[in-house]
A and B are shown apart, each in its own frame.
Chain A
Amino acid sequence: MKPLAKDIDVVHVTQPMTRTSVVTHPLSGHNQHSHWQISDKVSKDIGIAHLRRWPNRPMNPVSRLWLLIVSPGLRIILIHRLAHWLYLKRKNGGKLKWLWDAMLIPIGLLKLTMMKISAKSDIAKDCEIEGGVSFSDQGNIIFGATKTGTGTVIGPRVTVGTGHADMGRPEIGCNVWIGSDCVIFGTIRIGDGATLLPGTVLSKSVPAGVVIQGNSPRLVLRNFDNSELRKRQDLDVMQYMDAQLRN
């Protein structure tokens, strides 16, 4: 007996969701505790990168592996997780300190080739990044935020932090969308769900859910829902924002 067309549709829609129980709602942005297992964070990263790159494709192990090869943004966040894990191990010390010191060399080489030379990005080793953060595939990102929440999307050529450690570093909330060419510096906090349009230079704290634009930043909108921007990689941002502002 052939199944009805409706049933096939249902199967197609539900199959990727049931298989990946960890990433059922990668964009919903639950504010969870930061002491997850590293594997949870990694699977959430892969899930969100997959959803952004191929929105309509079902997720399976082969496509995840292929994503690791083709997506530099996913590669730099995973290498950062490795380097951050090593940083915490070395900081805590203990019996195996010689082992962690020796592991500096392979992980440093991995970081040099894959993150710095291949993607031209640099992420400070003491950044605490929660699972499900997406970096742009085009790279050129200098990232030094102390804390970053889940669901945050970071565009190409973004600088976060300062050249001098004594001037303080920013803290980024959940579900923030940061456009291309943004610069964020100083001891500031960006609220949950804020949107920084391309070309923003920000040095002051912003509340949750606002849209900021411009060099000498201006507040454009309040209570803006940026889930569409975070979900879709291929969106024409200025066109989309114009349509939103007209409504």
Chain B
Amino acid sequence: MFENIRADIMRVHRSNETLSLIDVLYSLWVNYGLQALVIYRFGRWLNGVRKHCISWPFTIPLYPVYWILSAWVRSAYGIHLDQSANIAPGFYINHFGGIEIRNCIIGPHCNIQQQAKLGPAENTDMGPVIGEGVWIGAHSRICANVNVGDGAAIGVGAVVTQDIPDRCLVLGNPGRIAQRDYDNHALL
């Protein structure tokens, strides 16, 4: 849990150097997406240690804490990171409001913006599988079981309905590949 949170905070600061405690506390206070992400990691950790029976006396009182915190983040900031999503370290949420992530696998160093929705299509189980270093723009929607390749950029307002290869820029509704071999390094 702590390594993942550390990677997320590093991502907020855009640096690989060591951070002081003041930096960490300040970024937690200012960055609402980071607060939501820390609470999500806490819930994942609770679910992970559940298989060791010896930890039950310590973790059972922590479950209500997690429920209250996650409900508060959902209602106050509108960021819904469901426990069924598998988010790799180094995730960054840019703004708040209307973010929904469930039943999907997200690679390391991804970036997401407000009003983006990631999840399965209706009446299905599996959502999208997203690669490494993907930039997902505001108001975009990936609600299907598709693969998004490493280094892709999902443009603002795009609706992805098909598999996306590596390093592609997707735009429009329905999403079309606007440019191949696109470098999203400046966006991340």
Contact = CB atoms under 8 A, between A and B. Distances in A.
Interface stretch (B16-24, B51-59, B93-101): B93-101
Given A142-B97, A159-B138, A183 B157 contact: yes
A147 interface: no
Contacts of A122: 95-96
Contact of A140 (B97, B158, B172): B97
Interface in A91-131: 116-117, 120-122
Contacts of B114: 140, 142, 159
A244 interface: no
B139 interface: yes
Given A183-B139, A183-B157, A120 B172 contact: no
A21 interface: no
A120 B73 CA distance: 11
A140 B157 contact: no
Contact of B171 (A120, A199, A216): A216
Interface residues of A, number: 21
Contacts of A140: 78, 97-98, 114-115
Given A120-B96, A157-B98, A163-B94, A183 B77 contact: no
B177 interface: no
A159 B115 contact: yes
Given A142-B95, A183-B156, A120 B78 contact: yes
A172 interface: no
A199 to B, nearest CB: 8
A216 B172 contact: yes
Contact of A201 (B32, B95, B98, B156): B156
B25 interface: no
A117 B138 CA distance: 19
A177 interface: no
A94 to B, nearest CB: 27
Contact of B157 (A116, A163, A164, A215): A215
Interface string A190-224: 00000000010101000000000011100000000
A201 B186 CA distance: 21
B75 to A, nearest CB: 9
A163 B172 contact: no
A157 to B, nearest CB: 6
Nearest to B171: A216
A185 B156 contact: yes
A211 B49 CA distance: 56
Interface of B: 32, 76-78, 94-98, 113-115, 138-139, 156-159, 171-173, 186-187
Q: Which 8 A-B pairs have the closest CB atoms?
A: A201-B157, A215-B173, A216-B172, A140-B97, A120-B97, A117-B76, A215-B157, A159-B138
7 contacts: A120-B96, A139-B97, A140-B114, A159-B139, A183-B138, A183-B156, A215-B158
